[in-house]
Amino acid sequence: MVKVYISGPITAPTDDDIRANVERADAAGRALAAAGYNPFIPHKQTQGWHATTSFTREQYLALDFDWLQLCQAIYMLPGWEESLGALAEYEEALRLGIPVVRSIDELEALFPGEGTLAPVRRSALYREPQIICEY
């Protein structure tokens, strides 16, 4: 399964703006997963950390770059050009030779027929389907 790193702004003037940025990244991740890709959403990994840690931008980027190198593509969200973190992720992707995309169509062109979320074979320990969550 093609792993796709989602890059876009998270830092914003207000907590509401930060939440909106996280939601945009999360929505992109849901769309990518629905299309059969495996998204990594760094926004979700470190959501809320700005209030409880004193990490520097470089420390956040070290975490991000570690994940980025495991991905086959980087998906740039609108507004990424205005984000110092997303600009750094973009440059790192170019350095690593990771393709940069801005749409699912671009992903499908790069990885034709690979956007499939195949069912996982259950072991004998899990004979019945498990309900993860109910809405």
Q: Give me the percent of the chain exceeding a pLDDT of 70.
A: 79
Domain residue extents for the chain: 3-110
Helices 57-68, 84-96: axis angle to 10 degrees equals 40
Residue 66 clears pLDDT 60, i.e. is over it: yes
pTM of the model: 0.82
Residue 135 clears pLDDT 60, i.e. is over it: no
- Look at residue 68 in the predicted model and tell me its pLDDT: 96
Q: What is the CATH number of domain 3-110?
A: 3.40.50.10400
Confidence band for 10, pLDDT divided at 50, 70 and 90: confident
